[in-house]
Structure 1
């Protein structure tokens, strides 16, 4: 009975947390689920060579709104060391002047991250869709998460005297400062051992990373994880999922940010990296995921029309179904999760 009551409490907590910020108070950018239409113009070569954490490229951005196009100045820089070196398009950091965003779609979202396709291949946008899906899955199930917005992007790339137009899907991610504001907390930038993190939030995080088969993270080293301090709790919040098995990008590789007992040979293999917690909490989070199965799979169905290669959609669908099969089977759950809990 204790496990059942705990699970019910977690389900209610997760459902309430999905309303974490009243719709009328959310920045307009994140109030809609429909893809945003954006236009950007910059030199890809200059962006990757001439920008860093403190140096930005000045440009313009256009967004479709009410049948017309709004334009405003934007400062851009390349981010992500691996993709910056490996990919043709680097992920972006966007900064706007607050005074320029008033009465625009970007009001209240003056700092954003933007994920773009890695390469120019025909189906490369499907990998972007699957990484966007990962964010939506976590938003669906976990109380604390980043807000995102899918975008149809037209990039006018300056190549010397020529200009080349690219059309693809990307997505925007809210900045950590705004996430902290939504939850009434602050970011912890120092290392905090995972066993000091909030128990429930940690298990949600670990189950999610296991679901998408992501090894490219560390709650101990704070790699692809942010720490939110709110209501006297330390909450890990994950981001950057392009190396996960769910996305299965061509450049993805198994990483070993933390030492793991046992080994996996490909990114689509699942391995649980969560720390030891009370069994009641693990069982409760297990039930939350199972109870939200239809909602989680519905997130994939929502973006089905945008896939270029339906094989990638079906592979993602099958991949998620395999996760739920593990949760449903007591022996698999014990072997792949309960028996793998870390203590250090």
Structure 2
């Protein structure tokens, strides 16, 4: 069980915001399971961790973890320390990034009585490189998750962190103060929706039609082509009440983030016909026009809510220019939806048939 330390001062203390309700309902009105305490609030969570970047990348794999402590600010003057296990994840970023994204495992007994109760596994998203845009890139990716929340109940919940990462380099320790966020595990969605993760490939046309199109519209909105709903690349498939439901994640290669390391995606070894990652290409499959128009209407109905989410995250951006670019990128998507001619030419007639 995590131990308590008092007045150790993990710097930033954030105002507690109104928490989300414990339960929620899906599209059918079915009451869902509880959301774990960690993800019930939008409050930024101050966290501290210490490990060697080199050890994380060289000594860990899908089954091998290293043991460290995670410290987090529980209230205004109390630090709780909890043992966790971590490993590097993501083949591309393990090779190309200074900070590798992290998979976290927590023993049930260690999480008992802490903010992390009920979370056995978590993903931790970090900046890729030590560069001026690093923290803003994290906020841009977080925004993608938050925007998807408005359009589908089937989504991964996230929690923004003020992370103090003490990087161990031999006898020296390099302190990095960075933005990061936790992503809940698919196990939490299984419990919440009473579903089961599908490990096998499921063709998009065999998935729930409305949710599949919502996913395709969302990926187009953020300018992301680095995904496959059929082969579960940056997607999970949840089987609920007889329906296969795609749930997207990992958006750092999207046009919305436009990271310095982004590259245009390749499908089956072929580069997509895009000049840069900020170019949009609709990758959804052909559906009935009534389905496409219904989802178009959902996005238009939620435009004000999505733009409000963007504005609410303005304060986390270090560069006002990067925020304005992000905002314009999303507004450009709505310009396409609001124009019947653009909607037809950029989305309807570009839907895939194979």
Which category of TM-score, normalised to the shorter sequence, fits these structures? over 0.9
Partner of 1:60: 69
The 2-side partners of 1:325 and 1:156 are apart by 44
Indicate conservation of the 8 Å contact 1:42/1:59, yes or no: yes
Distance 1:84 1:260, change over 3 A: closer
Match of residue 298, structure 2, among 273, 285, 288: 288
1:254 aligns with 2:281: no
- CA distance in 2 between counterparts of 1:122 and 1:196 reads 43
Q: Does 1:82 align with 2:92?
A: yes
Which range is displaced more, 156-165 or 318-327? 156-165
Q: Which runs of 4+ in 1 moved over 2 A?
A: 15-23, 256-262
| Structure 1 position 314 matched with structure 2 position 344 | no
The answer (yes or no) to whether the contact 1:215–1:257 under 8 Å persists in 2 is no
Match of residue 280, structure 2, among 240, 264, 270: 270
Contact kept? 2:32, 2:192, Cα under 8 Å: no
- TM value normalised by structure 2: 0.90
Partner-residue secondary structure (3-state), 2:141 = helix
State the superposition RMSD in angstroms. 1.8
Q: Distance in 2 between matches of 1:20 and 1:126?
A: 37
**Which protein has the bigger helix share?**
1
Cα separation, 2, equivalents of 1:201 and 1:177: 20
> Are the equivalent residues in 2 in contact too, given 1:20–1:182 (CA < 8 A)?
no
* TM-score, scaled to structure 1: 0.92
CA offsets 1:120-146 (integer angstroms, 9 cap, x no match): 223310000000000011111112110
Count the aligned residue pairs: 329
Greater mean alpha carbon deviation, residues 114-123 or residues 35-44:
114-123
Query: Are 2:198 and 1:181 equivalent residues in the alignment?
Result: no
Alignment counterpart, residue 215 of structure 2, candidates 205, 218, 227: 205
Whether 2:95 is the aligned partner of 1:48: answer no
Deviation at 1:207, TM superposition (A): 0.1
Residue in structure 2 matched with residue 227 of structure 1 by the alignment: 237
Q: What runs of 5+ residues in structure 1 fail to find an aligned partner?
A: 1-14
User: Residues 32 and 193 of structure 2 are in contact (CA less than 8 Å); yes or no, is this contact kept in structure 1?
Assistant: no
- Structure 2 unaligned blocks of 5 or more: 1-23
Aligned with residue 176 of structure 2, among 143, 152, 166 = 166
